Amino acid sequence: MDSITTLAKILKDKENPKPVSMSTGIVISPPPNAQIRLNDTVILGNNQLVFAAHVLEDYEREIDLEGDIKFSDPSLGETTFEAKKVKSTTKDTLKEGDEVILLPTADEQLYFVVGKAVRFE
């Protein structure tokens, strides 16, 4: 192939980039030392994964609540208070066997774990 043909091929390839599409994987080992099976031969490790914070244990989120909140305790009676800003901390996280939604970068060297997959079959 001559240099003009090579250049033309490079330019043509740039016109039609490979589309990036989501896939799923199976958690083999959960964070913090994560391993996710992408397919029969590829296992992704921490250095290839970026996790959305909300799928991790101890993810903390501030929420605003409006109105009164009532708690009842048989021994203490009912308590009412007004809540404005509350922090919520999750205790669930990814675990072995979970299916996760993966979004690869264009070169497929890095994968974003964007959430836990749920199927209704």
The pLDDT value recorded for residue 44 is 96
Domain boundaries, the chain: 20-59+90-116
Average pLDDT over residues 82-106: 85
The pLDDT value recorded for residue 36 is 97
The pLDDT value recorded for residue 90 is 77
| DSSP letters spanning the chain | --HHHHHHHHHHHHHSPPPP--EEEEEEE-TTS-EEE-SSS-EEEGGGEEE-GGGSTT-EEEEE--SEEEEEETTTEEEEEE-SEEEEE------TT-EEEEEE-TTSS-EEEEEE-----
Q: What mean pLDDT value characterizes the chain?
A: 84
CATH C-level class of 20-59+90-116 = mainly beta
Residue 28 has pLDDT above 80, yes or no: yes
Residue 79 has pLDDT above 70, yes or no: yes
